[in-house]
């Protein structure tokens, strides 16, 4: 093909604007050379742009004209088996490769994920639909494999932002990515094009002119744009190197396929991005000379599947303007109506229009005609505003006013006229012959929104919805992995449309319908595995050892379909995935004892597996022995108590692992207790939890062979200085019998009467509140000390302490507050008038006990004398000889010599 006319014009332009030929001429003429080289290639290259409606229409037209026998598509070659499942999906969806266990890559990269979104308004979908539904056509994916995507990625360039909920932190495969590679060029184009973002520039200066262009014009323009961005803005050298390696990879694969099959290049079509179509690598073309060597794949095992996608997900992943993909879909439908091109569509495509059972045969291929220079005329042709655009703009204006009124705006017919005229005005101010959807959006915001947004949706969002909104795809049942299909089958008794997006309420009367209990078990496992909101319990809970009665759930499995599909990459059943997750959590290098015990509880709650619980419990024992801090002591105490209560009520004997855990924990916390009392990083909560473990597990630990002396020595070696810990130590000493209540009360009284210790008295009180966990019998003393504090502390000390007291009680409200309220209700009067005359029990003088004189006589107790058999049986049990009758009247001689015991017992019984 001859481009001499265009070369001459560009040479003159370079001479005029650059004061003589030079670098500019080399760039401009080099672009023409790139176009000439691509057009002259025997294997037809079809350049596309990512999700471009102009590319989709041109592709559909070209496929019907050429009817190629082989289509080479720029897509990861290992994703080919998934493409047939697209007919079971509602577009947009994304083809995904996923791996949770990596080999040959840095461990911190896991999990690895690559997605390639596909929409109806995309050239790649047209090629796939044509190839899969046309007999005798072969579709060959030639781009690098998923494994090579990460082989060629540098660690510093690994991104894990996870902005989008549908695609997550997956790496996007850029099919036909056309965007300037440095900010200055993009800023220059946006400024002179009088647009705000790149999507608007592309729509105005590429999509609209190419919407109804012929095949040769489309190809030459796309080649020119790809060459422009490649030559003028190479960008990051590492990225350029990866792009060139991709081109070498694809041409190598195509030449291998041509050599192995003997296909004629004239019957083939190569679909790739326009950026890659203007390649200058030595491997370019069927006659390329390069010797590129494709490296072997790593040992990583990849799982492949389809996940739902959306317009918003595509925009977020590929940094497009909000609403641009929806506008592209609208423009695609408009181009089809204008050009009368009949697009290709997979037979049985979900959500598509029904087609006749027998598809008409394709017409005979059009004879190839040598293409002429179309660039010169295209670049000189001005855009034209036709009647169809005016009618469309009028329809938009009426529709946006209707939508605004539904959303609370005071819009009228006058506003529709204003939007119509303002759109044309804005387009004229921006040197455009016809308004674009972006001009219309700005006009609608200016004329309708003004300065008030009455509802949650502004006018800009209403325009996006009107243009098609955020269309969200769906993966059909047949295309789901086995695990996801199994979930749908097992939840079938709920009679819900689980694939439908949105929240659905499920009511489970398990007591009346026992067959729903497996559904309940599955829902609790899904709640553990899936993101928050996928399965949310409204009524009901899953506790150790309890069976459900009635439950209510909010389910949104259709909304979180991607997460459910990715579970299928981890196992073949939900139970297997739960077990793997629990093992992974327990054996994590950063796992704490509390985390492992949580995994033990989950194994019992969700899987009812004693085997797994025992295995994880043994792991908890190992982790506890290696811990040197007490940060997780409160969680360890709570979970150990729950597990002990469960096993004592549901098992005949305690499992071996929990006996060993209590035994090891007793010795472990005895060892760390003196250090924790003096460690500034260990708070009173942690020390109280350690004491709670030691005191509450003491009987079991002693029965297993532990020595109580170890605990007594540990407490004796503790010398805290912080007031709250001192109070905890005093409580521990009271529990062990080393300190009496009277002595403890005297110490607290001394603190209240000492001006130097008075400011720290609230901290002592906080320590006593924490002591309720290890020593709950001190609840009466805590009420007493708190009452004395409120009675004697001055307001400057008492008021700043109240928030600390409230926070402490709130953190322990489940166990401490009920005890304090019950004890206070027992001690304090029930009515307010009685409070004036009430004296606290701890301030009352103890009543003197008057010993009664022994009413002797030597006859002993009449009751014992009347019934001697009881005394004789007790004597025989104690191994004493003789009988009551033989003792005679001297049987109470001991009581006569020591009357204090009987007197004290009488006084105790009388109170």
Q: Are 663 and 673 within 8 A, CB to CB?
A: no
Dihedral angle over CA of 521, 526, 527, 529, nearest 10? 130
CB atoms closer than 10 angstroms to residue 189:
15
Residue 216 neighbours by CB under 8 Å, 6+ apart: 371, 372, 374
Nearest to 690, CA basis, from 699, 677, 702, 703: 677
Q: Are 99 and 300 within 8 A, CB to CB?
A: yes
**Structure tokens given for 629:** 């801090």
Residue 794 neighbours by CB under 8 Å, 6+ apart: none
| DSSP symbols for 712-754 | HHHHHT----SHHHHHHHHHHHHHHTSS-HHHHHHHHHHHHH-
Beta-bridge partners for 72? 140, 270
- The pLDDT value recorded for residue 887 is 47
Dihedral angle over CA of 650, 652, 655, 658, nearest 10? 60
Q: What are phi and psi of 392, to 5 degrees?
A: -65, -45
**d(Cα 774, Cα 637) in Å, to the nearest integer?**
10
Q: Are 378 and 209 within 8 A, CB to CB?
A: yes
- The pLDDT value recorded for residue 853 is 52
Three-state SS string across 666-697, please?
A: HHHHHHHHHHHHHCCCCCHHHHHHHHHHHHHC
Which residue has tokens 């219309």?
A: 440
Q: How is residue 371 annotated by DSSP? A: -
**d(Cα 773, Cα 762) in Å, to the nearest integer?**
18
**d(Cα 889, Cα 569) in Å, to the nearest integer?**
91
**d(Cα 71, Cα 729) in Å, to the nearest integer?**
80
Strand extents, DSSP E, 245-311: 268-273, 303-308
**d(Cα 539, Cα 79) in Å, to the nearest integer?**
43
- The pLDDT value recorded for residue 891 is 47
Q: Are 220 and 209 within 8 A, CB to CB?
A: no
- The pLDDT value recorded for residue 581 is 93
Blockwise average pLDDT, block size 10, the chain, 911 residues: 62 56 63 83 89 89 92 92 88 87 82 87 91 92 90 62 55 56 67 76 78 84 83 69 88 92 92 86 84 87 88 81 82 84 83 54 60 68 61 88 88 90 86 80 86 74 79 86 92 91 91 92 94 91 88 92 88 91 92 94 92 93 90 92 92 92 93 91 90 92 90 92 92 91 88 83 86 88 84 80 76 72 79 75 62 51 75 78 57 69 74 56
**d(Cα 688, Cα 776) in Å, to the nearest integer?**
12
- Please return the burial class of 200, using the count of CB atoms within 10 Å of its CB with bins 0-12, 13-18 and 19+: buried
CB atoms closer than 10 angstroms to residue 597:
27
**d(Cα 18, Cα 41) in Å, to the nearest integer?**
32
Which residue has tokens 């004395």?
A: 788
Dihedral sign from CA coordinates of 474, 477, 478, 484: positive
- The pLDDT value recorded for residue 17 is 53
Q: How is residue 468 annotated by DSSP? A: T
Nearest to 501, CA basis, from 122, 165, 87: 165
Residue 506 parent element (H or E): strand 504-509
Residue 98 parent element (H or E): strand 93-99
Nearest to 745, CA basis, from 618, 856, 841: 841
- Please return the burial class of 407, using the count of CB atoms within 10 Å of its CB with bins 0-12, 13-18 and 19+: middle
pTM: 0.73
**d(Cα 43, Cα 267) in Å, to the nearest integer?**
8
**d(Cα 221, Cα 799) in Å, to the nearest integer?**
78
């Amino acid at each position: 093909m001859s481009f001499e006319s265009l070369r001459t014009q560009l040479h003159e332009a370079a001479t005029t604007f650059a004061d003589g030929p030079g670098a500019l001429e080399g760039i401009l003429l080099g672009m023409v050379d790139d176009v000439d080289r691509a057009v002259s290639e025997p294997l037809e290259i079809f350049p596309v742009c990512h999700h471009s409606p102009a590319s989709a229409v041109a592709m559909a037209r070209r496929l019907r004209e050429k009817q190629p026998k082989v289509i080479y598509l720029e897509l990861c070659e290992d994703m080919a088996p998934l493409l047939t499942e697209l007919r079971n999906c509602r577009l947009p969806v994304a083809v995904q490769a996923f791996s949770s266990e990596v080999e040959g890559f840095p461990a911190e990269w896991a999990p690895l994920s690559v997605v390639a979104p596909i929409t109806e308004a995309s050239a790649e979908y047209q090629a796939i639909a044509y190839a899969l539904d046309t007999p005798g056509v072969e579709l060959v994916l030639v781009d690098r494999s998923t494994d090579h995507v990460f082989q060629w990625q540098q660690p510093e360039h690994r991104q894990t932002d996870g902005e989008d909920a549908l695609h997550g932190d997956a790496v996007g495969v850029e099919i036909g990515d056309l965007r300037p590679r440095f900010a200055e060029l993009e800023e220059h184009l946006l400024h002179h094009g009088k647009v705000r973002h790149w999507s608007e520039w592309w729509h105005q200066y590429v999509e609209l002119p190419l919407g109804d262009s012929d095949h040769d014009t489309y190809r030459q323009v796309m080649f020119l744009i790809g060459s422009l961005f490649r030559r003028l803005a190479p960008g990051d050298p590492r990225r350029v190197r990866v792009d060139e390696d991709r081109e070498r990879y694809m041409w190598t694969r195509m030449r291998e396929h041509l050599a192995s099959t003997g296909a004629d290049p004239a019957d083939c079509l190569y679909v790739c991005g326009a950026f890659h179509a203007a390649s200058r690598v030595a491997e370019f073309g069927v006659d390329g000379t390069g010797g590129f060597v494709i490296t072997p794949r790593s040992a990583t095992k990849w799982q492949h599947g389809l996940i739902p996608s959306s317009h918003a997900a595509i925009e977020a992943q590929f940094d497009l303007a909000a609403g641009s993909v929806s506008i592209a879909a609208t423009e695609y439908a408009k181009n089809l109506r204008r050009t009368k091109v009949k697009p290709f569509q997979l037979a049985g495509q979900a959500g598509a229009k029904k087609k006749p059972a027998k598809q008409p045969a394709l017409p005979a291929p059009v004879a190839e005609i040598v293409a002429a220079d179309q660039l010169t005329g295209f670049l000189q042709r001005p855009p034209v505003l036709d009647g169809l655009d005016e009618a469309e703009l009028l329809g938009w204006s009426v529709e946006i006013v209707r939508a605004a009124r539904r959303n609370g705006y005071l819009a009228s017919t006058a506003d529709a006229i204003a939007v119509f005229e303002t759109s044309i005005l804005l387009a004229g101010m921006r040197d455009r012959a016809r308004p674009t959807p972006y001009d219309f959006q700005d006009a609608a915001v200016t004329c309708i929104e003004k300065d008030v947004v009455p509802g949650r949706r502004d006018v800009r969002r209403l325009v996006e919805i009107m243009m098609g909104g955020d269309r969200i795809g769906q993966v059909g049942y047949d295309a789901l992995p086995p695990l996801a299909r199994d979930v749908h089958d097992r939840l079938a008794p709920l009679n819900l449309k689980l694939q439908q997006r949105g929240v659905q309420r499920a009511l489970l009367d398990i007591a009346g319908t026992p067959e729903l209990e497996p559904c309940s078990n599955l829902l609790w496992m899904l709640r553990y595995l899936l993101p928050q909101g996928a399965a949310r319990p409204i009524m009901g809970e899953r506790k150790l050892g309890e069976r459900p009665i009635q439950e209510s759930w909010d389910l949104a499995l259709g909304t979180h379909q991607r997460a459910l599909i990715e579970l299928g990459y981890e196992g073949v059943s939900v139970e297997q995935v739960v077990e793997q997750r629990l093992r992974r959590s327990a054996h994590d290098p950063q796992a704490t004892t509390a985390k492992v015990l949580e995994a033990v509880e989950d194994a019992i709650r969700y899987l009812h597996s004693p085997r797994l619980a025992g295995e994880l419990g043994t792991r908890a024992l190992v982790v506890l022995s290696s811990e040197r801090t007490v940060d997780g002591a409160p969680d360890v105490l709570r979970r150990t108590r729950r597990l002990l209560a469960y096993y004592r009520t549901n098992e005949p004997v305690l499992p071996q692992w929990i006996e060993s855990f209590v035994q090891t924990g007793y010795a472990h916390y005895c060892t760390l207790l003196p250090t924790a009392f003096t460690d500034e990083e260990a708070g009173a909560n942690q020390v109280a939890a350690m004491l709670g473990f030691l005191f509450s597990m003491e009987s079991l630990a002693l029965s297993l062979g532990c020595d109580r002396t170890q605990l007594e020595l540990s407490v004796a070696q503790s010398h805290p200085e912080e007031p709250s810990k001192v109070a905890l130590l005093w409580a521990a000493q009271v529990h062990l019998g080393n300190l009496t209540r009277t002595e403890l009360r005297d110490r607290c009284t001394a603190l209240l009467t000492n001006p130097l210790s008075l400011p720290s008295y609230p901290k002592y009180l906080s320590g006593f509140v924490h002591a309720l966990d290890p020593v709950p019998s001190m609840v009466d003393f805590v009420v007493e000390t708190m009452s004395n504090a409120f009675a004697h502390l001055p307001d400057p000390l008492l008021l700043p302490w109240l928030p600390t007291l409230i926070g402490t009680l709130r953190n322990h409200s489940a166990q401490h507050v009920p005890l304090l309220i019950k004890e206070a209700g027992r001690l304090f009067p029930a009515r307010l008038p009685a409070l004036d005359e009430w004296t606290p029990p701890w301030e009352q003088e103890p009543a003197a006990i008057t010993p009664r004189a022994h009413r002797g006589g030597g006859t002993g107790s009449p009751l014992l004398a009347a019934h001697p058999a009881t005394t004789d049986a007790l004597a025989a049990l104690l191994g004493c000889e003789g009988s009551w009758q033989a003792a005679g009247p001297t049987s109470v001689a001991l009581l006569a010599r020591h009357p204090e015991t009987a007197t004290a017992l009488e006084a105790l019984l009388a109170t």
